[in-house]
């Protein structure tokens, strides 16, 4: 049975706790350490404190940031029931939770993020007053909520704000905290909050080795940072293992497609978006259909920046490069100065005809998304000979489009290898809907673990690791 402390000297807390909801926007940089002082000041206030004094105390209490509303749910509007201490002594679950927070380095996190040192200082000896007991209780609950938020997909740098976790529909962490407060195996609950994907788990398993190497090698330290940054991104994107799927690792310039049958797996080089201007975004979606012999509907941005300057000098150059001008009704217009003006005014668009010189090559693979990103073939085959292959306008060019088309259509027997080749070399677009959409993940992993424990590292071409490092610091 839980022991309920009287808190008669502190019954004003009942009026403070409801104010937490409207005060959670204070800057997270006023750390949990500041919250200890705030709570102490609140506890020393008299029942006859003025309305202004109470409001000020409530604002200070809100330094718990995003955890504030959860703390209200945990401790209620009445006299708080302590979760982590009994008669001023830490419970076994409290000691286990502190130990687990101290070990978050094994998960690619920094214990300092969760105020573990301050919690240890508070826990030394007896927590002799109800004030000290509630300070410790609220701090440990807030640290546990923060750890769960980070493990569920909120970046550590955002974990004190109200940013939502990407993988869950609610951010009510009170059931999880109550479970932690009753368990002597908190690692099991933290494990359940992390991604279960095999690559995430393999990479997490390599942390210990690289932490040891980093103590004596600057190179290993840089590699450790890449592992930690990749784990951070993996928690946010939540790529899941599936029997069938396509994964593009942007900085590795590689695509892997897998099936339950190893015989149906394949890998190939890719070209991704130019780092300085047209970065390929991270995303998870499903490939819905293929288009053989596609038109290239030139995006307005490329039309303005690249084609209109050429067309204004000589409209006929569009024709010689297999481009057409099409009005809003789909009618093909002659390549004249007047038609070019219509394009510039937004009354017409430019597209490129199917064929060998088409910028999309012979096939494109569509997973509808707001960024209009897709996979496609390309006539620029020399780009695959480069070691660094960020050359596109953002879409992903694949080295072996025929193999990828066969992989995606392997469960549709009417699409034989011969029929696929015929469609790819046709002059009329052919759209083929997949009977089963195939998951696709565009990821950004500068570290990839192998089953044997080794790790491959890749250049941070988009400079995405550095901001994560800064956020951790």
53-101, pLDDT tens digit by residue? 334 334 434 556 777 778 878 887 667 789 999 988 899 999 999 999 9
Complete domains list, the chain, with CATH: 8-193 (no CATH), 198-240+447-472 (no CATH), 245-443 (2.40.440.10)
161: left (phi over 0), alpha (psi -120 to 50) or beta: beta
CA 413 to CA 423: how far, in whole Å?
Answer: 15
pLDDT higher than threshold 60 for residue 33 = no
Residue 296 CB-half CA count within 13 A: 28
State the Cα–Cα distance between residues 416 and 89, nearest whole angstrom: 72
Mean pLDDT score, 20-44: 40
391: helix, coil or strand?
A: strand
CA–CA gap between residue 308 and residue 173 (Å, rounded):
54
Pairing of strands 396-398, 266-273: antiparallel
pLDDT in tens, 96-131: 999 999 999 999 999 999 999 999 998 886 688 888
Strand pairing partners for 255? 248, 268
The DSSP bridge partners found for residue 249 are 254, 443
The pLDDT, as a whole number, for residue 428 is 95
* HSE-CB of 16 using CA atoms within 13 angstroms: 29
**Model confidence band, residue 244 (pLDDT cutoffs 50, 70, 90):** confident
Local confidence band at 32 (pLDDT 50, 70, 90 cut-offs): very low
DSSP letters along 163-197, please?
Answer: PPPTT-S----HHHHHHHTT-S-HHHHHHHHS---
Using 50, 70 and 90 to split pLDDT, how confident is the model at 169?
Answer: very low
Summarize pLDDT for 260-280 with one digit per residue, the tens. 766 678 999 999 999 999 999
* Residue predicted with more confidence, 169 or 374: 374
- pLDDT digits over 357-380, tens only? 899 999 999 999 999 999 999 999
d(CA 452, CA 397): 30
Are the C-beta atoms of 233 and 445 separated by less than 8 Å?
yes
Query: pTM, whole model, 2 decimals?
Result: 0.80
The string of DSSP codes covering 256-270 is EEE-SSGGG-EEEEE
């Amino acid at each position: 049975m839980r022991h309920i402390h009287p808190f008669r000297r502190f019954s004003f807390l009942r009026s403070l706790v409801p104010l937490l909801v409207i005060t959670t926007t204070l800057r997270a940089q006023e750390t949990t350490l500041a919250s200890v002082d705030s709570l102490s000041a609140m506890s020393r206030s008299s029942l006859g404190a003025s309305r202004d004094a109470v409001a000020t105390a409530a604002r200070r209490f809100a330094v718990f940031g995003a955890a504030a509303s959860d703390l209200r749910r945990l401790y209620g509007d009445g006299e708080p029931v302590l979760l982590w201490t009994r008669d001023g002594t830490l419970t076994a679950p409290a000691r286990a939770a502190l130990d687990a927070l101290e070990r978050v380095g094994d998960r690619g996190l920094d214990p300092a993020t969760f105020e573990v040192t301050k919690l240890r200082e508070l826990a030394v000896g007896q927590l002799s007053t109800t004030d000290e007991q509630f300070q410790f209780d609220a701090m440990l609950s807030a640290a546990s909520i923060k750890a769960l938020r980070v493990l569920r997909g909120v970046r550590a740098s955002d974990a004190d704000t109200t940013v939502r976790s990407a993988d869950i529909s609610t951010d009510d962490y009170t059931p999880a905290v109550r479970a932690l407060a009753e368990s002597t195996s908190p690692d099991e609950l933290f494990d359940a909050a992390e991604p279960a994907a095999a690559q995430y788990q393999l990479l997490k398993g390599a942390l210990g080795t690289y932490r040891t190497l980093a103590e004596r090698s600057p190179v290993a330290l840089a590699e450790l940072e890449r592992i930690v940054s990749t784990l951070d991104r993996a928690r946010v994107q939540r790529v899941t293992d599936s029997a069938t799927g396509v994964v593009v690792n942007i900085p590795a310039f590689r695509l892997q497609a897998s099936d339950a049958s190893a015989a149906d797996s394949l890998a190939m080089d890719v070209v991704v978006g130019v780092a300085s201007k047209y970065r390929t975004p991270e995303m998870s979606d499903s490939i819905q259909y293929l288009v053989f012999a596609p038109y290239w509907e030139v995006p307005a941005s490329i039309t303005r920046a690249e084609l209109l300057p050429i067309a204004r000098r000589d409209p006929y150059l569009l024709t010689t490069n297999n481009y057409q001008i099409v009005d809003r009704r789909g009618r093909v217009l002659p390549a004249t100065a007047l038609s070019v003006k219509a394009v510039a005014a937004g009354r017409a668009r430019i597209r490129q005809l199917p064929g060998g010189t088409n910028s999309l090559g012979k096939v494109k693979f569509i997973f509808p998304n707001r960024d209009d990103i897709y996979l496609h073939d390309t006539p620029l085959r020399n780009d695959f000979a480069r070691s660094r292959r960020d050359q596109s306008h953002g879409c992903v060019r694949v080295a072996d489009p025929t193999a990828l088309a066969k992989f995606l259509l392997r469960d549709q027997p009417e699409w034989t290898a011969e029929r696929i080749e015929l469609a790819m070399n046709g002059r009329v677009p052919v759209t083929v809907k997949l009977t089963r959409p195939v998951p696709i993940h565009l990821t950004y992993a500068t570290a990839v673990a192998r089953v044997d424990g080794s790790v491959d590292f890749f250049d941070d071409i988009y400079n995405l690791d550095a901001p994560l490092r800064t956020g951790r610091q």
